[in-house]
Amino acid sequence: MAAIATDESTSPRHALDADREPRRVVILGSTGSIGRSAIRVLEHDAGKRLRGWGLAANKGVETLCEQAHAVRPWAIALADRASVERIDGRLKGLDVQVFAGIDGIGRLVEDARTDVVLSAIVGAAGLEGTWAAIEAGKTVALANKETLVVAGSLVMDLAARRGVQILPVDSEHSAIFQAMRSGRRSEVKRVVLTSSGGPFRGKKASELKSITPDEALRHPTWRMGPKISIDSATLMNKALEVIEARWLFGLEPEQIEVVIHPESIVHSFVEFVDGGVIAQLSPPDMRLPIQYALTYPERVDGGCAALDWTQALTLRFEPPDRETFPCLELGFEVMRRGGTAGAALNAANEVAVARFLDGSIGFHDIPRACRAALDSHSYDPRPTLDALRRVDAWARQEVIRWRS
Ligand code: MG
C-alpha cells in the first residue's frame, strides 16, 4: 500500500535552499478556518519562502478579495460562478486573474508555476481539487481529511504513481508525521491520536439527547468551522482521523489508537518498537501544522506562541468513552472494512451534521443515522472513483430521508 514517506531525502522537490524562489502556494478553501490561518502564515512569511499564488473559495467574495489584497496572488477562483458578479470594484489596484467554476479552480491547481496546493475545502467536496492537484503532480498539503476517508486507497495509489508527496495539515497527523522522523518506518509499533474529548467529555449518553447546536459548536480548545466543531463534539472527527491516518501512513488498523487528552497540547504520538514514545507538543494553533507542511522540511519561526514552562502544566490522558460516543467505533469499523465504507460514513455524517444544525434531528441521532446508512449501503471492497461518488450520493439521500 502506498503511504507518505517521512524521510525528506526522498523528496527532492522540497530541497529548500537560500537561492530558491519562494514556493508558490495555491489555497483551496481560502476563506474557511484553515484557509484564513494559512493566509496569516503567508503574511508572516512575507514572501521569503512562500508566495500566495492562487486563492479559491466557493462564494465568499468579500473575504476572498480582502485576502487577494493581503497576499497579491496571480489568480483567484470562485467555485460559484454567480458570485463573480459581486466582485465589483473590490479588486481595484490589483493585477489578478479571476476564474469561475470548478474549471476555474482547476486553472489554479494545474498552473505550471504552482508548487504546492493546500487542500482546505471542507467535506467530500475537497476530493476533486485534491485529486486534480495530485494528477497535476503538485505537492499537496492536505487539510481535507474527507479526501482520504472517502478515497484513501485510490488517492494514495495515485500519489505514488505521480511521485507526489502528500503532507498532512491536520494537527494530529502533522504531529505523527513529525514524530515519525525520529525512527524508521519499520520501527513504528503504533500511533496514538489525541482527542480533546470535545465539549461533552464526561457526559453520559442520556445527557446528550437534549444538546443544542449552540452547545455543540462551543469547542473547549480549538476555534474551527461549524462542520468540524460538531464532528469534534460527536468524536466523529477522531473517527475520520483514524481512517485518515491509516491511509496517510500506510498503517495496519491495529496500529492506530485514540486517547483523550483534554488540554490539546500533545497533538499525537508515535510509539516505536523499543517502547520509546515521541510526541509533538505546542499550544493549539493551526498555523503551526499549516506552516510545517508548506515549508517542510524546514522549520521556521512563524510567530506562534510557545509553551510557557514557568507555569505549572498538567497534561491528562484517559481512554475514550466509546459507549457515549459511538461515532468513534464507527470510524474503527470503517477503517477495518475499507472499500466503499468510508464514502458511505462520510456522506452520511455530512448530511446528519447539517440536519442537526438545522434542528431536524437530535445530537444523538447523528451516529444512528450514520450507522443506518453504513449498514444498508451496498459494500464494494475495491471500488472505482465513480463507484465512490455513487455511494456518496446514495448515502446523502438516505440520511436526508432518515427518521429517528
Ligand atoms: Mg485534527
**pLDDT tier at 335 (50, 70, 90 boundaries)?**
very high
Could you tell me which residue, 60 or 6, shows the higher pLDDT?
60
Tell me: the pLDDT tens digits for 157-187?
Answer: 999 999 999 999 999 999 999 999 999 999 9
Average pLDDT over residues 240-245: 98
CA 54–ligand 1 middle distance (angstroms): 25
CA 172–ligand 1 middle distance (angstroms): 5
**Is 50 exceeded by the pLDDT of residue 212?**
yes
Q: What is the pLDDT of residue 20?
A: 76
CA 166–ligand 1 middle distance (angstroms): 16
**Is 90 exceeded by the pLDDT of residue 68?**
yes
Q: What is the pLDDT of residue 148?
A: 96
Q: What is the pLDDT of residue 225?
A: 83
Tell me: the pLDDT tens digits for 3-32?
Answer: 776 554 444 444 455 557 999 999 999 999
- pTM as predicted: 0.93
CA 285–ligand 1 middle distance (angstroms): 11
Q: What is the pLDDT of residue 19?
A: 58
Q: What is the pLDDT of residue 9?
A: 45
**Is 70 exceeded by the pLDDT of residue 260?**
yes
**Is 60 exceeded by the pLDDT of residue 289?**
yes
Tell me: the pLDDT tens digits for 123-137?
Answer: 878 899 999 999 999
Contact 175, 279 (CB under 8 A): yes
CA distances from 156 to 5, 83, 162, 165, 188 (A): 11, 34, 10, 9, 20
Q: What is the pLDDT of residue 122?
A: 83
CA 276–ligand 1 middle distance (angstroms): 23
Residue listed under C-alpha cell 450514520: 370
CA 338–ligand 1 middle distance (angstroms): 21
CA 171–ligand 1 middle distance (angstroms): 5
